[in-house]
Amino acid sequence: MASRVLPAFGSRRSLHIFERNYYAYRSQWLMFASGFFEPFFYLLAIGIGLNHLVGALPVGGRSVSYATFVAPGMLATSAMNGAVIDSIFNPFFRLKISHTYDAVLSTPLDVTDVALGEVWWALSRAALYAASFIVCMVLLGDATSPWVVLCWPGAVLTSLAFTCVGLAGCTYVRSWQDFDVVTLVTLPLFLFSGTFFPITLYPQWLGAIVSVSPLYQAAALLRGLATGQFDLLMLGRAGYLVALGLAGLWLAARRFRAILTP
């Protein structure tokens, strides 16, 4: 018997799902490579473009350039978008269109292995893209502190939260039309989560609502890490993302089981 990764959840066999996805993507290297260009686009367009128009902004006690402010937010957004692709679009196709998982489940793999395997895959991609993003930040001079390296695990944690929630969400998608709902959720998250500007600009009540947004929590966490300004609140933010991830994964496995082995 393969050793358990978590008590009663998934096994080492979940890595075969990672392997499967690797084979599936090998022929789609262009799509794979596009993930590396994304940070350049974000950082160039928003960072450099707006940097000259927008003055310095306060982060923690310090005042930083707009590019330095916005880069961690873009990193968080990029992690969210990657997670949406890897946890909603692709798994939906495998779950309900191509019935890939039906075949997988007649092998020793379990439903929990399938869910966990998709998470490994999404996190690996996120880690790769986040690394390239952080290198870009450093090269473009948007990083002000060596602590910026901590953005790497921070971005992976962001991906974990969104991937697991996305996996649960993908089980509710009935057809391609439903993907409009996904956009309906991610677009406002992207626009209003303090990724472009500090949420202190909002009225207090709106700020309170936005602080529930996982993208806001992720952006705030990454901003703290990128500038090396740590506070206890960041532990809370990280805890929030972990909790969201675990809850999402639990629900995803339950839903996968109900759908795949009724």
Partner 1 sequence: MTAQGGRDIVAEARGLVKRFGAFEAVRGVDFTIARGESFGFLGPNGAGKTSTMRMVSAVSQPSAGSLSIFGLDPRVHGPEIRGRIGVVPQDDSLELELSVRLNIEMYGRYFDLPRRVLRERTDELLDFARLTERADSKVDDLSGGMKRRLTIARALVNRPEMLILDEPTTGLDPQARHLLWERLYRLKREGVTLIITTHYMDEAEQLCDRLVVMDNGTIVAEGAPRELIEHHSSREVLELRFGTDAHAAMHDVLAPHAERVEVLPDRVLLYVEDGDDALRTVHAAGITPLSALVRRSSLEDVFLRLTGRTLVD
Q: DSSP for 175-232? A: SGGGHHHHHHHHHHHHHHSSSSS-GGGS-HHHHHHHTT-HHHHHHHHHHHHHHT---T
Q: Could you tell me how many residues of this chain bind partner 1 (CB under 8 A)? A: 23
Residue 111 CA: distances (Å) to CA of 8, 93, 162, 202, 255: 12, 16, 20, 43, 10
DSSP symbol at 54? S
Q: Residue 58 phi/psi, 5° resolution?
A: -85, 130
Q: Please state the closest distance from residue 16 (CB atom) to partner 1, in A.
A: 5
Residue 24 CA: distances (Å) to CA of 17, 34, 221: 10, 16, 33
Check residue 108 for interaction with partner 1 (CB under 8 A): yes
Tell me which residue of 119, 222, 99 sits closest to 165, measured CA to CA. 119
Residue 28 CA: distances (Å) to CA of 33, 123, 158: 9, 18, 25
Phi-psi region of 65 (alpha: psi -120 to 50; beta: other; left: phi over 0): beta
Cα gap 131→251, rounded to integer Å: 29
Cα gap 223→250, rounded to integer Å: 29
Check residue 223 for interaction with partner 1 (CB under 8 A): no
Check residue 167 for interaction with partner 1 (CB under 8 A): no
Q: Which stretch binds partner 1 (CB under 8 A): 35-43, 75-83, 108-116, 192-200?
A: 108-116
Among 3, 33, 106, 175, binds partner 1 (CB under 8 A): 106
Q: Which stretch binds partner 1 (CB under 8 A): 67-75, 78-86, 93-101, 120-128?
A: 93-101
Among 102, 172, 206, 208, binds partner 1 (CB under 8 A): 102
Q: Pick between residue 11 and residue 227 the one whose CB is nearest to partner 1.
A: 11
Among 2, 54, 185, 242, binds partner 1 (CB under 8 A): 2
Please list every residue from 20 through 39 that binds partner 1, using CB under 8 A.
20, 23-24
Among 104, 137, 221, 241, binds partner 1 (CB under 8 A): 104
For residues 159 and 122, the answer to whether their CB atoms sit within 8 Å is yes
Among 64, 79, 109, 167, binds partner 1 (CB under 8 A): 109
DSSP symbol at 45? I
Q: Please state the closest distance from residue 19 (CB atom) to partner 1, in A.
A: 6
Q: Please state the closest distance from residue 1 (CB atom) to partner 1, in A.
A: 7
Q: Please state the closest distance from residue 225 (CB atom) to partner 1, in A.
A: 36
Among 38, 39, 88, 110, binds partner 1 (CB under 8 A): 110
- Site residues (CB under 8 A) for partner 1? 1-2, 11, 13, 16, 19-20, 23-24, 98-100, 102-110, 261-262
